Structure 1
Amino acid sequence: MGRRTLAVLIGLFVLAGYLVAASLGYLLLATIVAGRPDPAVLVTALVLGTVLSGYFSYRFGTVGLLRSLDARALPRGRAPGIHRRVDRLVERMDLDRPDLLVASLGAPNALALGSSRRGALVLDVWLFQLLDGNELTGILAHELAHLENDDGLVRAMVYATVQTLVGVALVVAAPVALALTGIGRGLVWITGRPDNLALRIRAAIGAVVGLGVFLVTAFARSRSRRREFAADDRAAEVTGDPLALARALRKIERASMPRIGPFRIPVERDEHPLERILSTHPPTDERVERLAERAKGRRVPVERGDDRRSPAPARNR
């Protein structure tokens, strides 16, 4: 009898705690509604907050990422051929010339940071040994295409919008979810039964909110994959050599495989559908296939005489 009484008291305490929290959330929403804010003003405030959040995330995130990469400027004197390739590509595209940096990224890769008017290209040092001149030009053109379309800024805005939508959904659903959680857990202690209607309704609400978060996240990731395809297409258009970019993508993929001694070991695995949906990049096979289709029936120009010296800038000692 003593344990039963204690369980009931705990259940009532849990119920009261959650109901107080739910009441506070409800009072906050009721206060906002009672103020009868102009819907246009409310929407404008949300949009403005989203834009500012996305912009500052993009601006400070870019600076922070550059610092974390320890990227260093690549002087023209150390790699004149690379600089000439960037110069030629920029002349064919609608963007200002970005800063050219090198870093040790841990794997052959290239990053485009910033915007079309104030950008930076970060190249991993191993790219210069892995790729030939035309392949490197394809990778440069792909990254410049991201800058040309301000993909970094747009991506930050998309994710800020996702965060705003999720935040609004959580604020609206929180009082109800807290109340149902308190009722459900309180009844578990009071009745001794592990399940009840309140907990099932709470789980259903959580599933709906989770599905909404998943859908908006999947939309944002699908846009990222489309922008990768668009950058591939733009690079192929500017260079006139889709196959060079395809070869570069394949080499980068192989160089990123696990290594045992001097050998790269291909990893065969079935990609889960959720991995595909939530990936920011499309599969390399699909990108290579699209580029190969673009190359059919085209004459491919070959750039010769590229002087590629060591890209590693001298460190201050």
Structure 2
Amino acid sequence: MGNQLKTAALLAALSGLLIAISYWVVGGTTGIIIGIAIAAATNLFSWYQSDRIALAAYGAQEVNESQAPQLYRMVRKLAEQANLPMPRVCIVPSASPNAFATGRDPEHAAVAVTEGIMQILPPDELEAVIAHELSHIANRDTLTQAVAATVAGAISFLGQMLSYSMWFGGSRDNERGGNPIGVLATVILAPFAATVLQMAISRTREFSADAGAAKLTRNPRALASALQRLEAAAKGIPFHGANPAFEPLLIINPFSGEAIANLFRTHPSTEQRVAALLELERELSSL
């Protein structure tokens, strides 16, 4: 419950940031009303389209059992064990090893894996990764992360548009309700603030999904090993198709090889996650 309250507060902060941006840029009551309208529309759109948005962002293609029998059966087996509806199964045409889940609820969910992750992980580790994604679905993290990504993307887009406006069209006149200082602050600070809030939301969910996967498979070490393998592979095979706004959906930070990007990781460190999994292994073995 603590994580859920924290996540709700962070989502509210993201929406509040959108409203604040509109207030400072447009000015007055009109700016607040426009900000509320943008926040409501963005949240509503991501609620109903979260699965399509995320899948399209990574070019994921849905497959059936005949097209990817081993993967499809693995997802079906784990979904049955977790008492979840069978999600759609998708493959991302990328050599970079990664995976994610999306959907507004378990009845509208999808699990996606890259071609690369199926090539480098042995079956028990791939199973652990899929169990992690199914845990996100069971915890309804997929909706939370997709909404956060969409709102953060809207904030960043607004910041970019304002930047272009300042360079090519000049700042808005104060008599028309605009605030040049607000515009400048938006361009510089809004994308950064949105990233920080996204990071906080994602980090509250990853440990819980790791634990859920370990309990589902009864094999915490398999997920620990998979995370270490994926971390190492990400340094050599960067995810060039990765959309930063949707990075929190992925099981591993796709920019692990970039020093600057590591300052803004949306995931807990792999070392922390592995340590937590090995501790859980000791607890499970003592039962």
Please, what TM-score do these two structures have when normalized by structure 2? 0.62
Q: Could you say what secondary structure the match of 2:100 adopts?
A: strand
- Does residue 234 (structure 1) correspond to residue 234 (structure 2)? The answer is no
After superposition, the C-alpha distances for 1:249-299 in whole angstroms (9 at most, x for unaligned) are: 11222333438xxxxxxxx98945xx4452222322222122122222433
**Distance (Å, rounded) in 1 between the aligned partners of 2:91 and 2:191:** 37
- Does residue 49 (structure 1) correspond to residue 41 (structure 2)? The answer is yes
2:96–2:115 CA contact under 8 A, matched in 1: no
Query: How far apart are residue 154 of structure 1 and its match?
Result: 1.6
After superposition, the C-alpha distances for 1:214-265 in whole angstroms (9 at most, x for unaligned) are: 2343011221232222211211122221111001111222333438xxxxxx
**Distance (Å, rounded) in 2 between the aligned partners of 1:97 and 1:287:** 27
- Does residue 152 (structure 1) correspond to residue 138 (structure 2)? The answer is no
Structure with more helix by fraction: 2
- Does residue 245 (structure 1) correspond to residue 223 (structure 2)? The answer is yes
**Distance (Å, rounded) in 2 between the aligned partners of 1:32 and 1:69:** 40
**Distance (Å, rounded) in 1 between the aligned partners of 2:80 and 2:202:** 26
Distance 1:208 1:142, change over 3 A: same
Q: Which one-letter code corresponds to 2:66 in the other structure? A: P
**Distance (Å, rounded) in 2 between the aligned partners of 1:215 and 1:254:** 29
Q: Hey, what does 2:94 align to over in structure 1?
A: 105
Query: How far apart are residue 97 of structure 1 and its match?
Result: 0.9
2:93–2:115 CA contact under 8 A, matched in 1: yes
Q: Hey, what does 1:210 align to over in structure 2?
A: 188
1:222–1:278 CA contact under 8 A, matched in 2: no
**Distance (Å, rounded) in 1 between the aligned partners of 2:234 and 2:220:** 22
- Does residue 93 (structure 1) correspond to residue 79 (structure 2)? The answer is no
CA RMSD of aligned residues (A): 4.3
- More displaced stretch, 69-78 vs 109-118: 69-78
* Number of residue-to-residue matches in the alignment: 232
1:221–1:278 CA contact under 8 A, matched in 2: yes
**Distance (Å, rounded) in 1 between the aligned partners of 2:231 and 2:54:** 25
Q: Could you say what secondary structure the match of 1:97 adopts?
A: coil
Query: Over alpha carbons, which structure has the higher Rg?
Result: 1
Q: Could you say what secondary structure the match of 1:138 adopts?
A: helix
Q: Hey, what does 1:72 align to over in structure 2?
A: 63
> Any stretches of 5+ residues in structure 1 without a counterpart?
1-24, 34-38, 181-200, 260-267, 301-317
Q: Which of 142, 167, 185 does residue 132 from structure 2 map onto?
A: 142
2:202–2:267 CA contact under 8 A, matched in 1: yes
2:51–2:110 CA contact under 8 A, matched in 1: no
Task: Give the structure, 1 or 2, with the largest relative contact order (CA under 8 Å, sep 6 or more).
Answer: 1
2:60–2:91 CA contact under 8 A, matched in 1: no
Q: Hey, what does 2:13 align to over in structure 1?
A: none
Q: Could you say what secondary structure the match of 2:107 adopts?
A: coil
- Does residue 130 (structure 1) correspond to residue 116 (structure 2)? The answer is no
**Distance (Å, rounded) in 1 between the aligned partners of 2:38 and 2:257:** 43
2:199–2:266 CA contact under 8 A, matched in 1: yes
1:242–1:295 CA contact under 8 A, matched in 2: yes
Query: How far apart are residue 63 of structure 1 and its match?
Result: 5.1
Identity among equivalent pairs (%): 26
Distance 1:91 1:298, change over 3 A: same
- Give the alignment of 1:109-124 within 5 angstroms: 109-115=98-104, 116-124=106-114
**Distance (Å, rounded) in 2 between the aligned partners of 1:100 and 1:242:** 23
After superposition, the C-alpha distances for 1:182-239 in whole angstroms (9 at most, x for unaligned) are: xxxxxxxxxxxxxxxxxxx967983587345523430112212322222112111222
**Distance (Å, rounded) in 2 between the aligned partners of 1:162 and 1:65:** 14
Q: Hey, what does 1:305 align to over in structure 2?
A: none
Query: How far apart are residue 59 of structure 1 and its match?
Result: 4.6
2:101–2:112 CA contact under 8 A, matched in 1: yes
Distance 1:64 1:290, change over 3 A: same
